[in-house]
Amino acid sequence: MMMFGLRIYMNAPAHGSAEDLGAFYSRRDTGPFYRWKIDKNVWSVARVTAPDSLASEFSAVSWKLVPTALQKSIIEHYQD
């Protein structure tokens, strides 16, 4: 499924297992940032305020590198 304007970010190195990656962040168009973290194989999401200085530290992540379970959670989250 293609979601226009959706961007995925990380603030941790892109290596290791999902548990080692830290948090993923998502943002659609100019909307709010959401932080995605995994705990016991379950992805949780929280809306976060990300000042421009923090957002500049994020690294864009290809959709192909996002874990499959997280992809499903993100799609469900952004569906209208």
**CA atoms of 24 and 54, how far apart (whole Å):** 13
Question: Is there a domain that residue 49 lies in?
Answer: yes
Residues of the chain with pLDDT under 70: 1-2, 12-22, 50-56, 80
pLDDT, residue 21, reads 59
Question: Is there a domain that residue 11 lies in?
Answer: yes
Residue-wise pLDDT tens digits, 61-79: 898 889 999 999 999 999 8
Model pTM score: 0.76
Number of domains in the chain: 1
Question: Is there a domain that residue 37 lies in?
Answer: yes
Question: Is there a domain that residue 1 lies in?
Answer: no
What's the token pair of residue 10?
Answer: 């990380």
Q: Report which secondary-structure segment, H or E, holds 35.
A: strand 33-39
Range of the domain at 67: 6-78
Question: Is there a domain that residue 40 lies in?
Answer: yes
Question: Is there a domain that residue 39 lies in?
Answer: yes
